[in-house]
Structure 1
């Protein structure tokens, strides 16, 4: 098991570095692209709603949103029907980087899976889903 954990940690580190390099070319930090992906599909979510969809804590999303607001990727607005809630909305800049970010993610996935057969890809996906389920 030590080998599996070590290999997973090494793969995570390398994948995170490659993702960060790809996203930073467009002014987006690694992790922020995941928030953007959700908001591109459904704009105006609360930090709590985003946290639930990403399996993160609300404070993590609030901190990420603060950095994203500074980078002109999102704006915060009070919910019109419940002023206690804050919702996150995409900026024009966030909409502009959608196509390049999606292209970077496709390239990265192709690079990650380049040496794998289709069957190996299915097995890796299945194994990762099982690991995530077990540890969640």
Structure 2
């Protein structure tokens, strides 16, 4: 048994807060690692690109509200995507405080991989959980997210 396996065994079920948080956090971290490995993007970058594919020209503030992210974080992600050539950012002429984001051709090309990537994720979830389990987990996670807003 490796040291990592021994530590995992020792701390199995351990959470300093609530027993649900450790497996929820682990599942989230593993999903994000898979996401980054398969897509080549961090989840926030990919989600911003996907949102812009659906509605190009959203402001950074609108994206911030949509994802409940700090506006400065959306600005940094937008700047990185712009630097890499995936989006273009333009100040709104009517209100100089507003910065709108638009997909570039390079960004659109990368989004063409979205359907295959999404299907791979859906397949993994279907292999782990049946439809009823997925629906129940979704309901429970939404209830948990709502409870954490208070």
**TM-score for both structures, normalised by structure 2:** 0.82
**TM-score for both structures, normalised by structure 1:** 0.89
Consecutive unaligned residues in structure 2, runs of 5 or more: 1-16
| Larger relative contact order (CA 8 Å, sep ≥ 6) | 1
Segments ≥4 residues shifted beyond 6 Å: none
Q: Measure, in 1, the Cα distance between the counterparts of 2:122 and 2:36.
A: 14
> Which of 25, 29, 32 lines up with 1:16 in the alignment?
32
Local SS of the residue matching 1:88: strand
The answer as to 2:22 corresponding to 1:3 is: no
1:124 maps to 137
| Aligned residues of 1:68 and 1:74 also touching (Cα < 8 A) | yes
- 1:75–1:85 distance in 2 versus 1, CA, 3 Å: same
The answer as to 2:50 corresponding to 1:37 is: yes
| Aligned residues of 2:60 and 2:98 also touching (Cα < 8 A) | no
Rg larger for: 2
Consecutive unaligned residues in structure 1, runs of 5 or more: none
Deviation for aligned residue 1:47: 0.8
Local SS of the residue matching 1:77: strand
Between Structure 1 and Structure 2, how many residues are aligned?
A: 133
Greater CA drift, 42-51 or 77-86: 77-86
Greater CA drift, 90-99 or 104-113: 104-113
